[in-house]
Amino acid sequence: MTKKPTSEAEQFVKSRRSSFGASFQGLVFVFKTQKNTWIHLAATIVVFLVSAYLELELLEWVALLLVMGLVWVAEFLNTAMEVIVDLASPDIHPLAKISKDVGAASVLIAAFLSVIIGVLILGPAIIEKFNLFG
């Protein structure tokens, strides 16, 4: 029995399926190994629910989604960098520590930025919704 050659479209779909599979494996790895990911998830859910309750404007949603996405991207890139550093330098090395510290700092900067933008957007909306201060 001869196997029919696959078409370019079938090969494309197969390679996309493989890429998505690898992406989901990465997602699972980060959630299994990075404790801070659960903090990011909780914050994301809370901000999303509060934002929906406050009925934010479109551009407010865009700003919040962008900074939340920035935190997630920073966390995932930091994790990837940590794994690469561990592979390249299994022994403790001062430069490996610096690399990991700088990666962690990028997540911290993104998180601080998201908190500031969250307060700037959600603060006035909460004040208005609950008629605080007047």
- Please give the tally of structural domains in the chain: 1
| Per-residue pLDDT, 134 | 74
Would the pLDDT of 5 be above 70? no
Would the pLDDT of 64 be above 80? yes
| Per-residue pLDDT, 44 | 98
Q: Is residue 1 part of a domain?
A: no
Domain of 116, CATH number, reads 1.10.287.3610
* Per-residue pLDDT band at 45 (split at 50, 70, 90): very high
Q: Is residue 32 part of a domain?
A: yes
* Per-residue pLDDT band at 6 (split at 50, 70, 90): confident
What is the chain written as a DSSP string?
Answer: -PPPPPPHHHHHHHHHHHHHHHHHHHHHHHHHH-THHHHHHHHHHHHHHHHHHHT--HHHHHHHHHHHHHHHHHHHHHHHHHHHHHHH--S--HHHHHHHHHHHHHHHHHHHHHHHHHHHHHHHHHHHHTTTT-
In this prediction, residues 35-49 reach a mean pLDDT of 97
- The residue range of the domain holding 73 is 27-129
Q: Is residue 125 part of a domain?
A: yes
Tens-place pLDDT, residues 13-26 = 899 999 999 999 99
Q: Is residue 21 part of a domain?
A: no
| Per-residue pLDDT, 95 | 96
